[in-house]
Amino acid sequence: MTDPVADFLTRLRNAAKAQHHQVIIPASKLKKELARILKEQGYIEAYSLIPHSEGHRGERIVVTLKYTNDRKPVITGLQRVSRPGQREYVSHAQIPKVHGGIGTAIISTSHGVLTGHEARHAGVGGEVVAKVW
């Protein structure tokens, strides 16, 4: 797999479109941080880790998706911004606002993985990983 983050976002997008309750995704440090931010921002209900087992090589993340009362997914859009072939780095002044501030930009900085708002407030730039709305 050449882009694990794009795979993470695609699995979430597909599961939400199919109205699944949960989705299981292979884990990495960056994917755990993405799940943490999605939970903190209210885009997903919860996430948990399944430790290594005999049938699977590494840890896995179980993401519980969040829906509105009329069964529409809370996540209406996910976009991978920085790709392996075309990285996108920004300074703290250039951090994008997603849908006029309604959405969330996820930035990988020297201070860890932060939302666009947190990175702007901390005055650090970095790699724009994804946008969520």
Residue 71 falls inside a structural domain: no
For residue 57, what pLDDT band results from cuts at 50, 70 and 90? Answer: confident
Tell me the per-residue pLDDT of 17-50, one tens digit each, with 9 for 90 and over. 999 999 999 999 999 999 999 999 999 999 999 9
Measure Cα distances from 23 to 3, 17, 85 in Å.
18, 12, 27
Q: How confident is the model at residue 53 (pLDDT cuts 50, 70, 90)?
A: confident
To the question of pTM greater than 0.85 for the whole model, the response is yes
Q: 13 lies in which domain range? A: 4-65
Q: Greater confidence, 82 or 54?
A: 82
Q: State residue 42's pLDDT score.
A: 96
The arithmetic mean of pLDDT across residues 63-73, rounded, is 96
Three-state secondary structure call for residue 68: coil
Domain count, the chain: 2
Q: Is residue 72 part of a domain?
A: no
Do residues 111 and 86 share a domain?
Answer: yes
Instruction: Let me know if residue 45 belongs to a domain.
Output: yes
Cβ–Cβ under 8 Å, residues 48 and 25: no
Inter-residue contact 44 to 58 (CB < 8 Å): no
CATH at 30:
3.30.1370.30
Please check whether residues 92 and 128 belong to one and the same domain: yes
CATH number, domain containing residue 101: 3.30.1490.10
Q: Tell me: the pLDDT tens digits for 80-125? A: 999 999 999 999 999 999 999 899 999 999 999 999 999 999 999 9
Q: Both 16 and 51 in a single domain?
A: yes
* Residue 14 falls inside a structural domain: yes
**Would the pLDDT of 1 be above 90?**
no
**Domain match, 49 and 11 both:** yes
Same domain? 35 vs 61? yes
Which of 65, 89, 115 terminates a domain? The answer is: 65
Phi (first) and psi of residue 42, to 5 degrees: 85, 15
